[in-house]
Amino acid sequence: MAITDVAHDAVDYVRPAEVAEEELYHPKTWLGKYVFSQDAKIIALQYSMTAMAVGLIALVLSVLMRLQLGFPGVFSFITPDAYIQFVTMHGMIMVIYLLTALFLGGFGNYLIPLMVGARDMVFPYVNMISYWIYLFAVILLLASFFVPGGPTGAGWTLYPPQTILPGTPGADWGILLMLVSLAFFVIGFTMGGLNYVVTVLQARTRGMTLMRMPLTVWGIFTATVLALFAFPALFVAAIMMTLDSVIGTSFFMPAIVSMGQTLDYSGGSPVLFQHLFWFFGHPEVYIVALPAFGIISELISVHARKNIFGYRLMVWAIVVIGGLSFIVWAHHMYVSGMNPYFGFFFATTTLIIAVPTAIKVYNWVLTLWRGNIKLTVPMLFAIGFVFTFINGGLTGIFLGNVIVDVPLSDTYFVVAHFHMVMAVSPVLAVFGAVYHWYPKITGRMLHEGMGKFHFWVTFVGLYCIYYPMHYLGIMGVPRRYYANEGSTGLPDWIPESAQVLNAGISIAAIVVASVQLVFLYNLAVSTTRGKRAGDNPWGATTLEWQTSTTPPTHGNFGKELPSVYRWAYDYSVPGAKDDFIPQNVPAGQETGDAR
């Protein structure tokens, strides 16, 4: 291995490299340029738009769920089967088809080549195929709404045996489409993920050493490595479950009597499925969180005009969190029962993961400390993220302990916890990132007034939704229930006031869902009516803001690739002319016009 990074023998200036622009594939037709494009930026937009479209469907499903929970019995078209189908599809779409695809396929494709100073991904054709396989997986998944029996209602964790037993909605076609769709998603992602990892390893421009990379790239890179090693577990589980369902093998299916009939299965292990699922499922939390961590570090540093505090620790924390995420999976299975020593091990590793995470939080706060904080829309979302991740992280410490988890496991406390860490936090990071990079993608600014309105209603609204859920959980309100005995639709042991809270949560959910239309309107209208952004509206140091054209053209950097002379966080450097020094400004030229 001959990786070199020798700051002490660095030279002051070397002529920029004219590199391999002619090696890029240049499309000759409109279809080749905008549909079957091999340009990572177009592929990023395709990923993002597909993910957001399917995410909107999942958002509507969540509103339907809230209508049932807030006002049970009022909406007759929401049957018990439909409700559990909504729960399942909402969860799977949001976690995999929206967040994973958006962070890695969307932001990864757009930002990695630009931020590391590459012309494109190392294998553009494979990158393009990756998107089309993802789209195929999405179509397969959505097709399950139109097959007999509808989509699967197995819950997003797809636990056997009930997943493929008669009586579970979608046990015939819905579950098959879900499993096949997941298998295709994994294949497509692997093709894309290989590209992201190898591009970061091999295609960095001159001077872009690993420790000069922006934290956004570190977050996406590490998350991709995690995903490449975690998704095979989902793939294995999906294949084995498909064989159980179609051919009648007994990998996961135990000997079982269903609706009075003894089925042909014998001796399979549902817990084996749980192990495989959560070996993927827990790293998945960090597959979503690590890119968000990277993005938030970027936003906080840029909009506080201050270098990130503890860059090296931030990098190590990302790597350590990634590593630890592979040895905590069974904390999702405390209620399945396990050897107490295993419970102790998994509780311990779960709590240890709080250490690098806390380091990141401290570093964000210390970056803000005495910074020149600009309360721009991206900064608002970044601060919102830090608040929310602390909240969600703290309840994670509760649930990481076996003795606390067992009584809370099947209640709304868990729903509140994982939505705070896995849904609200990443979504706030996504919004912050969109407001931050939209000017580079389109050349126009998003409308700030609409952005602030969007932030405040979303942020306050989300807390109105998820804070009360903690109380519901502590009261013992069970999750996954459609309705029960009693006029409130809740079990008899739950007080009436819980239903008032439920109705309030539903109203907040409807408001938050509605305000996303303002965001979409802003996105659409600003492409033509937004204020012109220029090349570097935020005064940022990283390479994507140093392109000669905005939006960047095919090949990203024109004739010459940039050379990198410094790290990504030279903000407010004493003696410099501007309060930022781009990474491609050579040593000794800081006092000139850095732009």
Partner 1 sequence: MNFRDQLSVKPWVAQRGLVPSSRGFSAATPKVTLGVFLCIASVLFGLFIAAYFIRMGYADWQSIPVPALLWLNTVILIASSIALQWASVSARRENPEGVKLGLYVGGGCTLVFFVGQWLAWQQLQELGYFVYSNPSNGFFYMLTTVHALHLFGGLVAWVRATSRVHRSKEIALSRMILELCAIYWHFLLLVWLVLFGLLLAT
Does residue 575 touch partner 1 according to CB under 8 A? no
Are 113 and 40 within 8 A, CB to CB?
yes
**497 contacts: CB under 8 Å, gap ≥ 6:** none
**412 contacts: CB under 8 Å, gap ≥ 6:** 469, 470, 472, 473, 477, 478, 479
Are 297 and 286 within 8 A, CB to CB?
no
* Smallest separation, CB 290 to partner 1 (Å): 16
Which string of b and e fits 27-52 if b means at least 16 CB within 10 Å? beeeeeeeebbbbbbbbbbbbbebbb
| Amino acid present at 165 | L
Nearer residue to partner 1 within complex by CB, 50 or 224: 224
Nearer residue to partner 1 within complex by CB, 252 or 463: 252
Choose one: 334-342, 421-429, 507-515, 557-565; the region binding partner 1 (CB under 8 A): 557-565
Does residue 529 touch partner 1 according to CB under 8 A? no
Lay out the site mask for partner 1 across 115-154 (x = CB under 8 A, - = otherwise). Answer: -------xx-------------------------------
CA distance 346 to 331: 6
Query: Which stretches does DSSP call E strand in 86-186?
Result: none
* Smallest separation, CB 466 to partner 1 (Å): 34
Site residues for partner 1, 11-30, by CB under 8 A, read 11-14
* Smallest separation, CB 311 to partner 1 (Å): 6
CA distance 108 to 383: 22
Does residue 369 touch partner 1 according to CB under 8 A? no
Does residue 591 touch partner 1 according to CB under 8 A? no
* Smallest separation, CB 32 to partner 1 (Å): 22
| Amino acid present at 388 | T
How many residues belong to the chain?
Answer: 595
Site residues for partner 1, 212-241, by CB under 8 A, read 212, 228-229, 232-233, 235-236, 239-240
* Smallest separation, CB 108 to partner 1 (Å): 15
CA distance 147 to 168: 15
Does residue 569 touch partner 1 according to CB under 8 A? yes
Does residue 484 touch partner 1 according to CB under 8 A? no
Choose one: 41-49, 50-58, 65-73, 207-215; the region binding partner 1 (CB under 8 A): 207-215
Maximum pairwise Cα distance, the chain: 83
CA distance 196 to 226: 12
Does residue 270 touch partner 1 according to CB under 8 A? no
Are 543 and 583 within 8 A, CB to CB?
yes
Does residue 197 touch partner 1 according to CB under 8 A? yes
Nearer residue to partner 1 within complex by CB, 252 or 389: 252
Residue ranges in contact with partner 1 by CB under 8 A: 1-8, 10-14, 122-123, 190, 194, 197-198, 200-212, 228-229, 232-233, 235-236, 239-240, 243, 247-251, 264, 266-269, 272, 275-276, 279, 307, 311-312, 315-316, 563-567, 569, 586-587
